[in-house]
């Protein structure tokens, strides 16, 4: 019985209720009284907190990291090798052979990588691109 009375009242005053609701939404959207925005703090201290970390001396890899990255790259190339056509397989096998020699003698390969990173670092973004540049 109570629900019937409420529904009858809503049906009777539906246009008025919709108008009041629409006006309320528009006023809320225009004035946004519930959203008081904070001022953005752009002091030097805040900027230092949100700034990305800067690499000071280019890419510095340790020998174990270098070997791990080489093994990951080798695994990727071996995966590509299974799907490649014959002309691509020759190139991939050459890259895999080069990676195996770098894994066998990581000190010399890492020294070459660091030398190249000093030369090409301004033009390259990230250690993965620097590493890939050794293989081309």
Which pLDDT does position 136 carry in this prediction?
46
Question: Are 20 and 67 contained in the same domain?
Answer: no
In a domain, residue 37? The reply is no
**Domain extent for 88:** 63-134
- Collapsed DSSP state (helix, strand, coil) of residue 108: helix
In a domain, residue 119? The reply is yes
Question: Are 82 and 24 contained in the same domain?
Answer: no
Tokens 């540049």 locate to 133
Question: Are 71 and 16 contained in the same domain?
Answer: no
In a domain, residue 57? The reply is no
Banded model confidence at residue 131, pLDDT cuts 50, 70, 90: low
Which pLDDT does position 78 carry in this prediction?
92
In a domain, residue 54? The reply is no
In a domain, residue 118? The reply is yes
d(CA 56, CA 122): 12
Give tens-digit pLDDT for 23-52: 988 877 777 756 666 677 677 777 777 766
What's the predicted TM-score (pTM) here?
0.46
With a CB cutoff of 8 Å and minimum separation 6, the contacts of 93 are 81
pLDDT for residue 126 is more than 60: no
Banded model confidence at residue 125, pLDDT cuts 50, 70, 90: low
Question: Are 67 and 126 contained in the same domain?
Answer: yes
Question: Are 130 and 67 contained in the same domain?
Answer: yes
Banded model confidence at residue 7, pLDDT cuts 50, 70, 90: confident
Question: Are 26 and 67 contained in the same domain?
Answer: no
In a domain, residue 113? The reply is yes
Which pLDDT does position 39 carry in this prediction?
72
Number of domains observed in the structure of the chain: 2
Which pLDDT does position 58 carry in this prediction?
47
DSSP 106: H
Give tens-digit pLDDT for 50-99: 766 555 554 577 888 889 989 999 999 999 999 989 889 999 999 999 99
């Amino acid at each position: 019985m109570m629900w019937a009375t409420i529904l009858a009242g809503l049906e009777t005053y539906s246009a008025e209720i919709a108008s009041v609701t629409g006006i309320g939404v528009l006023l809320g959207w225009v004035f946004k009284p519930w959203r008081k925005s904070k001022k953005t703090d752009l002091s030097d201290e805040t900027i230092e907190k949100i700034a990305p970390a800067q690499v000071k001396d280019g890419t510095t890899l340790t020998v174990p990291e270098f070997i791990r990255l080489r093994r990951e790259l080798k695994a990727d190339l071996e995966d590509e090798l299974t799907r490649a056509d014959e002309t691509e397989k020759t190139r991939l096998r050459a890259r895999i052979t080069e990676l195996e020699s770098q894994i066998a003698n990581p000190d010399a390969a890492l020294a070459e990588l660091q030398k190249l990173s000093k030369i090409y670092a301004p033009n390259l973004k990230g250690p993965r691109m620097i590493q890939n540049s050794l293989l081309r």
